[in-house]
Structure 1
Amino acid sequence: MAAVHKSMFSSEDELLALTKRLVQMNSIVNTEGENVIAHSIYTYLASLAYFQENPTHLAIVQTEDDELERCNVLAFVKGEKMKNNRAVVLMGHMDTVGVDDFNQEQDYAFSPDEWMNYLRSGKLDLPKPIKAQASSDDWLFGRGVLDMKSGLAANLYLISYYAKHPEELDGNLLLLAECDEEDSSHGVLSALKTLKQWKKEHDFHYAAVVNSDFVAPLYKGDPHRYVYKGTVGKLLPSFFVTGAETHVGAPFEGLDPNFLIAELTKQISYNLDLCNEALGETTMPPVSLKQTDLKPVYTVQTALSAFAYYNFFTHSWTPEEVLEKLRGQAENAFESAVAQYTERYQAYCQMHGYPVESLPWKTRVFTYEEMDKMLTALHGDAYTSHMAAFKHDLMYDETLDGRMYAARVIEEAWKWMEDKRPAIFVFYTSLYSPRVKMGEETEDEQILADALEQGVKHVQQSYDHPIVIKHFFPYISDMSFVAMSDGMDDIEAYKRNNPAWGTKLYVAYEDVNDLNIPVINIGPYGMDAHKKYERMEITYSMKVVPNLIDHVVHEVLRKGKRG
C-alpha cells in the first residue's frame, strides 16, 4: 500500500493535465455541455482494458424525472487483493455554473492556460493577492478548476489506477460522476437507483462515500485546509404575505404587504439567533434570496400580496423546528410592523388635527399545512378538487420555477379564505438538502472517521499548511442525497408544508434513507468558486487530495465486516 501512495504523489502532472482537459469541456449546468462531458468520461473509461473485459462495470445512465436529457457516469472496480463486499463510492459532479461573470473575457473561461497568460499580461487591474497567485506556478484559474473538476479529476485518476491495478485493491471502488449538482441535483437523485441496483446485484456493502467538492478559507488570512465529516442542511423557507389594498392617496386605509415583508426581511436576514450550532460548529445566518410583491402591472393601488424566501442552513434542526422558529420570527415582524404603522398613523393624525381611530390590524401567522387543513375543513371536496386541478394546469406554465409555482398555489388557496385580514403564511419551496451528521454511532462511521484522522496525519507530513477535520461541509452539495440525519417523519413535515410537493417537486427521499452511507468531503483547495477569478492551489489539490482519498479508501475497505 505504501508503494501506491508514492505513485499517487508522482501523479501531479497527469492529474493537472486531466483537470485542464475537463475544464476545457464547457459543461455549464442545464446545457448540452453536461452530455458532452458525460460521454467523454464514459468513452475514456470504456477504453481501459478492465472495462472492456467487464463492460457491465461501467454505465452511462440518463437522469429520471428530468426536463432535460443528461446523464451520470458510474463505474466500479472489484479489487483482487482481498476480495470482499465492502465498497467505497468516489463522488464528484461534472457541471459548472455559467460564465456571465467573465464579461468580455468569456472566451478564456474554459481555457486555463490561455486565461493564465492573459491574467499575467497586465491587461486587467487585478487585486494584489490574485495577481500574485496568477503569477505563481502553484495556482490554476478558470471556470470549474475548483468547483469541482480538479476533484473529479482525482476521482477519475483513482478509479483508472485501480482498473489497471485491481490486485492492489481490497474490496470494491466505485465512481459516481453526476450531472446537475449546481441546480436541482437530478444527477445524484437518479444515481441512487443505479447504486441500489448494483448493491443488490453485487451484494455491495456501501461503507463510505468520499465526495470531492471544493474547500476554501473560512475567513481572510485563514491558513487551514479543511476536510469535512458530513454536511450542512439547506432549506428555503418562504413567506406569502397578504395586505389590505388601498389607493395610494389614502395609505392609512389599508396595509401594504410590502411594509410587512420588509420588516420580515429585517427580522430574518443576518439574524444570529437563527444560526444552528451543533458539535461546536455554527451555520451561517439566513439571508434573503428573493423579495417581491405579486402585483403584475403598475396601478395606484397598493399590492394585494407579497412573497419572499430565504436561504436557511441547518446542522441539527429539523424542517419542522425551523418552520416553528420562523413562525415566531414572522409573528415578531408582524407585531413590529403594526406598531410602527400605528405610531406613524397617530403622528400623521396629530400633524393634521384628525381624530385617531383604532386600527384593525392584528398579528396573523399560519403555516401552509394549517392553512390547507383549515380550508379543507371549511370547503371539503370543492376546495381540494379545485386546488388539484389548479396545480395540474399550473404545471403547463413554463415561466414558473418551483419557487414561484409554490407561491401561485398558495395565492390561489388564499382566495378560499373567508377571513381576508392581512396575514403571513410560512411554507417551503424548492427541494430540501438534508443535513448529515457523520458521527461514530455505527461501525462504518467509526471506521471512516478513524481512516480520515489517520489519513490527515499521513499526508500532513508532506504538506506545510495545517489540515483540519470539521463536522459540517458549509456549502450546499450532493452529499445531502447519499445520507441524512433526519428521520422520514421529519421529511413528511417538510412535504406537508411545501405547496409544490407531488406536482412541480418530488424527491425520493426514501432512496436516500435506504442507502444512508457515511459521507465525508475531501476536495481541492482554492478561492472564489462561482466567481470570475475562480482558482485552485495545485500542490494541495493535485498531491494531497488524491493521496488522502487513497489512504481513506484503503483503510475503509480493509476493515469492518466483510462478505
Structure 2
Amino acid sequence: MFWNTQQQLEDLICQLVSWDSRTGTEGELHFPFKLKDELAKLDYYRTHPDHIALHDAGRERNALTALYRHDDAKKTIVLMSHFDTVHTKEFGSKSHLAFTPRELGNRFKEIADDFSPDNRKDALSGEYLYGRGTMDMKMGLALHMHLIEKAAAEDWPINLLLMTVPDEEVDSAGMRAAVDRLESIADENGLDYSLFLNSEPSFTQYPDDPNYYFYSGSIGKIMPSALFYGVETHVGEPLRGLNAHYMASFLNQQMEFTDIFSEEEYGEKTPLPVSLKYYDMKEDYSAQTSNHVAVLYNVFTMQQNAEDIFSKYHYLVEQTMNQCQKQYEEICQRENIPPVGRIRTMSYQDLHAYLVKKFGQEKVDDIISDYIGRDDLDDREKSTHIANRMITYCKELVPLVVTLFAPPYYPAVNASEDPLVRSISALTNDFLGKDYGIEPKEVHYFNGISDLSYVTYDKHDDGWETYQDNTPVWGRTYSIPFESMQKLQAPLINIGPFGKDPHKLTERLHKKSAFEITPKLLEAVVKHCIDH
C-alpha cells in the first residue's frame, strides 16, 4: 500500500504540499492532473480508470472525483476537500520554503527564538509539520486518499466518492461547479449519498487554544454591499454637491459591529459584521469631490437566508440615509445654501427594473456586458461598476444609494440533530477519549467557512431568489446551483486533523493527530456508517 503507514502519510502530505497550488496560480491548474496520476497508481483505478474524472470549474481549473464503488452497496460517503491554498507573501524571498515542510521545519528550529513562546515550543518539539497547506487543507485530502486506498484493498461494503476542488479560498468556484456533477455521478452509478464528510482541520477558537474540535455544521457568509452616488462639486464650493464619502460614513457607523443580524444557536454566536472593502471609484486625483463610493460588508449567518439579511440591510440603509439627509439639511440651513436634493435608497433589483423601463432590456444587457468581460475586475468590482454605470443613465435619481449583494455567498448548513451525526458525535467522543485521553468539543457551525455550504440546502427555502435578483453578476460570472443543492439532502460533518495558524507563516500540522489519530478515527466513522 502507498498511503497506509504513518511514514507514508507524512511523505504523502509533503508531496501534496510540494505541488504549489495557491489560488489563481498555474499550480492550481496543474494540481488535479498530478493528483489524478497519483491516484491512478492504485490497483483499483488500474482496473476502473473511468472512476477518476476531472470536472471543469471555469478558468481552466478542474475539480477531481475518484469513486470507490462496491458492487453490493448503494450507501455512499462523499469525502470533501479543497486543494487550493492561500498565498505566501508573508514568506518574503523565502517563499519556496513554504512548499518544503521538512526543510521549513529545520529552518524554524534555527530561528525558534524569534517566535512567540507557543510557536517556539512547537518548532523545537518536532511534533509539528510546517508549510503552506499542511493544515488547510491538504492533509484532509491525504486522509481521504488513505481511506480510498484502504477501502479498495479491504473491500469495504460501502461506496466512497473522493471530491477535491479548487478555489475554496476565494469564491468556491470549484465546489459550486461540482454540485451538478455530484447529482449526475449518483445517477450514473446508482449511489445513495448518506453523508458528506469534510476534513477541514480543527480550527482554534481563541489564541493558544489546545482543544480539538469537530463540526456538525458550517457558518454562513454573505456580503450586502452599497454603491453611494452623490453630486460632484469643486472643493471650493462643497455644499453645491453631496460627497459620496459623507453619505457612506453614516452607513459605516451603523453597519460595523451592529447586532441586528446577530444569531445564537447551541450557545454559539455569529461574529459581528465588518466592512471588508471600501473604495472610491473616482480614478484620478482632482479638486472635484467624489460622487461614487462602494462598500462591501461581511455578515455571518446561521438560520437567516439571503432574503432575511437583505430585508434588514435595506431597511437599515434607508434609516441611515434619513439621518444623513437630516444632518445634511441642517448644515445647508446653517450655511444658507439650498440642498442639492433628497437621498434615495433603491435595491439593485429596482434600479435594474427602472433602467429596463426607461431604455429597454437590450440596453441594460449591454451595460452589464461591458463589465462582465473585463479580466482586470473581480466579481465584487464588476458588481459595483455595473451599478455605478447604470446610475449614469438615470442621473435624475441622484443622490442615490443602491443596495446589492456582492459575491461570494456561503449559505449556513447544520446537521447537529441528524441521528447519524449524533451517533458519529458519540463515536468521536468515545474513540478519542478512551484511546487518546482527548476530550473533543463539538462546534455546531464551523467558523472557518467551508464548501459544505453548497450541499444539503433547505429544500423548502426560496429566499435565494432575493440573492439572485440583487447580485449584478448573477448568471454571468457568478451563480450558485441552489436547486441542485436542494436535491443533495444528506447529513454532513467535518472531522479533520489538529493544527495551528492557518493562513499564517507558522501554519503547522500536528503529526500524531494527522498520521496516527485522525486516520483511525475516520476509518471508524466510515465503518460506523456501514452499519447505520
> Percent identical across equivalent pairs?
29
1:177 Cα deviation from its structure 2 partner: 1.9
State TM-score, norm by structure 2: 0.93
Which residue of structure 2 lines up, in the alignment, with residue 305 of structure 1? 292
User: 1:138 and 2:138 equivalent?
Assistant: no
User: 1:390 and 2:373 equivalent?
Assistant: no
User: 1:91 and 2:80 equivalent?
Assistant: yes
Which letter does structure 2 place at the counterpart of 1:32? Answer: E
Count residues in correspondence: 530
Contact 1:255-1:422 within 8 A present in 2 as well: yes
Which residue of structure 1 lines up, in the alignment, with residue 109 of structure 2? 120
Contact 1:97-1:530 within 8 A present in 2 as well: yes
Contact 1:338-1:361 within 8 A present in 2 as well: no
Contact 2:457-2:482 within 8 A present in 1 as well: no
Aligned ranges 1:348-497 → 2 under 5 Å:
349=334, 356-357=336-337, 359=339, 362-377=342-357, 379=358, 382-417=359-394, 419-440=396-417, 445-485=418-458, 487=460, 489-497=462-470
**2 CA distance for matches of 1:209 and 1:422?**
48
Which residue of structure 2 lines up, in the alignment, with residue 173 of structure 1? 160
Q: Which moved more, 1:411-420 or 1:239-248?
A: 411-420
One of 7, 27, 31 as aligned partner of 1:13: 7
Contact 2:69-2:160 within 8 A present in 1 as well: yes
Which residue of structure 1 lines up, in the alignment, with residue 96 of structure 2? 107
* SS at structure 2 position matched to 1:223: coil
The change in CA–CA distance for 1:136 and 1:171 in structure 2 (over 3 A counts) is same
The change in CA–CA distance for 1:525 and 1:335 in structure 2 (over 3 A counts) is farther
Which letter does structure 2 place at the counterpart of 1:200? Answer: D
1:342 Cα deviation from its structure 2 partner: 5.2
Aligned ranges 1:160-559 → 2 under 5 Å:
160-166=149-155, 169-341=156-328, 349=334, 356-357=336-337, 359=339, 362-377=342-357, 379=358, 382-417=359-394, 419-440=396-417, 445-485=418-458, 487=460, 489-559=462-532
**1 CA distance for matches of 2:69 and 2:291?**
62
Q: Which moved more, 1:16-25 or 1:276-285?
A: 276-285
Which letter does structure 2 place at the counterpart of 1:86? Answer: K
Query: CA offsets, 1:146-170, max 9 Å, x none?
Result: 100111111111111112111xx22
Consecutive unaligned residues of structure 1, counting only runs of 5 or more, are 1-7, 350-354
Contact 1:210-1:549 within 8 A present in 2 as well: no
The change in CA–CA distance for 1:385 and 1:488 in structure 2 (over 3 A counts) is farther
Contact 1:233-1:436 within 8 A present in 2 as well: yes
1:357 Cα deviation from its structure 2 partner: 4.9
1:389 Cα deviation from its structure 2 partner: 1.5
CA RMSD of aligned residues (A): 2.3
Which residue of structure 1 lines up, in the alignment, with residue 45 of structure 2? 51
Which letter does structure 2 place at the counterpart of 1:407? Answer: T
1:373 Cα deviation from its structure 2 partner: 2.9
**1 CA distance for matches of 2:312 and 2:286?**
36
1:340 Cα deviation from its structure 2 partner: 4.7
Which residue of structure 1 lines up, in the alignment, with residue 68 of structure 2? 77
Contact 1:331-1:363 within 8 A present in 2 as well: no
The change in CA–CA distance for 1:11 and 1:461 in structure 2 (over 3 A counts) is farther
Contact 1:26-1:33 within 8 A present in 2 as well: yes
* SS at structure 2 position matched to 1:424: strand
**2 CA distance for matches of 1:393 and 1:331?**
30
Which letter does structure 2 place at the counterpart of 1:369? Answer: Q
**2 CA distance for matches of 1:58 and 1:516?**
24
1:361 Cα deviation from its structure 2 partner: 5.3
Query: CA offsets, 1:20-48, max 9 Å, x none?
Result: 11111111122221243322221222111
The change in CA–CA distance for 1:342 and 1:536 in structure 2 (over 3 A counts) is farther
* SS at structure 2 position matched to 1:489: coil
Contact 2:198-2:452 within 8 A present in 1 as well: yes
Query: CA offsets, 1:205-244, max 9 Å, x none?
Result: 1000100112221113433211111211111211001112
Which letter does structure 2 place at the counterpart of 1:63? Answer: D
Consecutive unaligned residues of structure 2, counting only runs of 5 or more, are none
**2 CA distance for matches of 1:84 and 1:367?**
50
**2 CA distance for matches of 1:151 and 1:13?**
16
Which letter does structure 2 place at the counterpart of 1:247? Answer: H
Contact 2:242-2:340 within 8 A present in 1 as well: no
The change in CA–CA distance for 1:123 and 1:221 in structure 2 (over 3 A counts) is closer
* SS at structure 2 position matched to 1:447: helix
State TM-score, norm by structure 1: 0.89
Query: CA offsets, 1:178-198, max 9 Å, x none?
Result: 222222323223333332222
